[in-house]
Structure 1
Amino acid sequence: MRRSNFALRVPPTLLAEARKAAESEGVALNQLITLALAEKVSAMRTEEYFEERARRADPAKVSRILSRVGKGNPPIEGDELPLEFAARKVKKKK
């Protein structure tokens, strides 16, 4: 893998905290920064992936599937659908 150098301007307080974190993890500061950047990029790509999947979702189909699961089990906190999902128009099949 080819490596590049990049001058990074970091506020002194953040740099001090990063150095402490790297030391406590037993890694070089460069490795800590590289890992943190990789984790952030991965999280952003994952979020984009699921947003795209949600755009392609069929709310009517999801509702039909959800209506079949959990029969006899009352909903618990956290089971509710996001407001944006409920706001989408759901067409019922006849």
Structure 2
Amino acid sequence: MQSFLSDTEAECKLCDTVLNNIYSFNLMSNSSIGVRIPPNLQKRLESHIAETHSTRTEVILNALAQYLGASEEVPLSQRVSALEAQILELKGLIKNISSLPSYS
């Protein structure tokens, strides 16, 4: 069978196939768990998610990894996302502090 793809197109198609397989493998290799949490903790979680623009999964995964001392095992993209969320939270806190009246 004759191929009508150039070498570059064939390489790109191969790369796409490999990347899709890696992505699918990573999705399949993650486990899912369900937990019950008290309503007050749920409210704090939802507030944190809203303030930091994170996902529930990111927040819980990062908290669990930090608790277990395994932060380096969290994918870099999720660690960067968590840092960005923390920066947003800090900016909000700084804004709140700077809007307080000064009593000097």
TM-score interval, smaller chain: 0.3 to 0.5
**TM-score (structure 1 length as normaliser):** 0.42
Larger C-alpha radius of gyration, 1 or 2?
1
**TM-score (structure 2 length as normaliser):** 0.38
Q: Which of the two has greater helix per residue?
A: 2
